[in-house]
Each structure stands twice: as C-alpha cells, then as structure tokens.
Copies of this chain bind each other. A is one copy, B any other.
Amino acid sequence: MNPIKRVAIVGGTHGNELTGIYLVKKFEQLPHLIQRASFASITCLANPKAYEMRKRYVDTDLNRCFKRQDLENPLLSSYEAIRAKTIAQMLLAEESSQNSLIIDLHSTTANMGLTIIPSSLHPFNLNLTAYLQSVNPSVKIYQWERLEQDSSFLRSLSEFGCTIEIGPVAQGILDAPLFQKTEQLIYAILDYVEAYNQGVSFHQKDSLTIYQCVKTIDYPRNESGELDAMIHPQRQFRDYEALSPREPIFLTLEGQAIAYKGKSTVYPVFINEAAYYEKGIAMCLTEKQQISI
C-alpha cells in the first residue's frame, strides 16, 4: 500500500452536530494542530447551509447522498445532492482516493461513547482502529452496512478512514468533555498515519471486536405513525450492553413493557437517537464479531 497523501477532516455533515463543526473551526484557526510532515491535512465543513439553519439537513440527509450512482446522476438537484458532488470532487481531487483518508465527525444522542465506524475492513483501517483502542480503551467499533453494498455515507469516498461518533450529546450543543475526547482521537489518527507513512508498524493484536449491525427495529407506532411506546427505562443509555431474549425494550404510553422477541443475545446501539425517529429506527441490533487483523 502507498503512503497516505492527504487526510480530510470533515465536520458538519449534519448541521446540528456541533462537535465536528467546532473542531473543524478550531483546526481552521490553528492549522498547525493537524499538520504532519508526510501528508497534507484539509478540513471541510460539509453542510454549511444546514449548520446556518441549525438543522440536520436542508432537503435530505447529506450522509445518505454518496452512492456512486447518485454522485453521477445529473438529475439529482437537492441542496445536499449537489453538495455531495462538490464534496466528492473536493476530497478526491488531484489524487486517487487510494491515497486519501477521510475522518467524518458525528455525534449522537445515544450513549455510544467514542465509536469508530471504519470506511472498510482494509487491514490499514483495522490496524488503525486497534491503535486507537490502545490509546483509548473505551473506543468501540461499529459497522453499519455489509461492505459489498454501494454505500451512501460520506466516508465511503475513500477506502481509508472512518466516521467518529460520540455521545450522548444533544443536537445543537457543544459538550466540552466530548469535544476534547474527539479531538484527542483525531490527533491519534494523524499520529498513526504519520508513523505509518514513515514505515513504523503498530501491529498490537491479532483480532478486533466489531459490533456488526444485523437489524434495525422501529418504535411501536399507531396508524398515523405516532409513537405508541418509548425506549424502556431499563434500556435507555445502555448502548453496547447485552440484550437477551424476553428482556424489555419498549414501554408503551399506557405503561406496559414490550419484550425483545429475538432468539439470541444482541448488543443494541444508536438507542433512541433523535435523528432516527424519522428513519424508523429505535435502535440498531448488533452482533459482536471477532475479526482477525
């Protein structure tokens, strides 16, 4: 594999997730913080109009606009569809995507702590993630989609890099402790890339635990789409904890518990994420998988 020639730090893919937005602002004011000798660092405020409006998006979720077929489709003309094409050109300009690494900064109202969602399971990313866990043992690794799919996420513009999710944090606020944790993780990534480019190896372990999304489940709803139930009090903020068959997951407005009907233990994440109410996702059920590095 060739050296990484450029690292792009992206914030504000969602306009109301301030952690990434203000980290980008900080790095634009203090660029030496992200400069390293062996590669170029750039920053990108991905959805400035949504940020101005203090909303997740203007017309549609920008982080679902990066399928190759959509980027190549001249008929798509929403603000975010056009923005996605601009971002793709900007992040991939001049050099091939193989030499760029993208860090896309997000936050969640779920209690997911620091979560890495790698852009691919390329050995480079797995070793990088193992390094990040050695720097901060609380870091978890999550995977949304099966990788053979044409991904709609911004991070998929490059094989290298990841999304960083941090939570719990309300939309529209800056939470200093979570800001600082995300910042430290970015520096760790930059240091890793720098060392990698200089031929230093960080092979620390033989396998990684990945939380692989196997299914999403929606809130119980009435025929108008209104919630009939909320996340059960015993499940709120318990992301990454084991959920066994027959344990309660929802509580109806009337006060009745609804149990998990699955047949095996899973590990829910994105529990009660504000932005996913409209997507029909109350939580993502994951399986713990060991992946060899």
A164 at the interface (CB under 8 A from B): no
> Is A288 in contact with chain B by the CB < 8 A criterion?
no
B-facing mask of A156-187, CB < 8 A → 1, else 0?
00000000000011111111110110000000
Stretch touching chain B among A6-14, A34-42, A270-278: A270-278
**Does B253 contact A180, Cβ atoms closer than 8 Å?**
no
Question: Residue A177 contacts which of B30, B54, B236 (CB distance < 8 angstroms)?
Answer: B236
Task: Check A203 for interface membership: any CB of B closer than 8 A.
Answer: no
Q: Is the CB of A123 closer than 8 A to any CB of chain B? A: no
Interface centre among A169, A173, A232, A251, by most B CB within 10 Å? A173
Other-chain contact of A272, B109, B168, B175 (Cβ < 8 Å): B175
Q: Is A254 an interface residue (CB 8 A)?
A: yes
- CA–CA, A262 to B25, complex, Å? 30
Q: Does A236 lie within 8 Å of B175, measured CB to CB? A: yes
A153 within 8 A of B: no
Asked if A274 and B170 sit within 8 Å, CB to CB, the answer is yes
B174 touching A171, Cβ below 8 Å: no
Contact A174 B233 (CB under 8 A): no
Q: Does A69 contact B (CB under 8 A)?
A: no
The residue on B at minimum CB distance from A167 is B170
Binary per-residue interface labels of chain A (97-121) against chain B in the complex, 1 for a CB within 8 Å, 0 otherwise? 0000000000001000000000000
Interface string of A19-33 (1 = CB under 8 A from B): 000100110011000
From A19, which residue of chain B is reached at the shortest CB distance?
B230
A33 → B minimal CB distance (Å): 10
Which residue in B22, B273, B277 is a CB contact (below 8 Å) of A227? B22
Contact with B along A32-67 (1 / 0, CB 8 A): 000000000000000000000010000000000000
Give the CA-CA distance A172 to B176 in the complex, in Å: 21
**Interface hub of A169, A170, A175, A275 (most chain B Cβ within 10 A):** A170
Asked if A25 and B171 sit within 8 Å, CB to CB, the answer is no
A234 to B231, CA, bound (A): 30
B233 touches A177 (CB 8 A): yes
**Residue A226 lies at the interface, judged by CB distance under 8 Å to chain B:** yes
Pick the contact of A109 from B173, B227, B273 — CB < 8 Å? Answer: B173
Which residues on B sit within 8 Å (CB–CB) of A179?
230
12 residue pairs of the A-B complex, CB under 8 angstroms, read: A26-B254, A109-B170, A109-B173, A168-B170, A169-B170, A170-B274, A171-B274, A172-B274, A176-B231, A176-B233, A177-B236, A179-B230
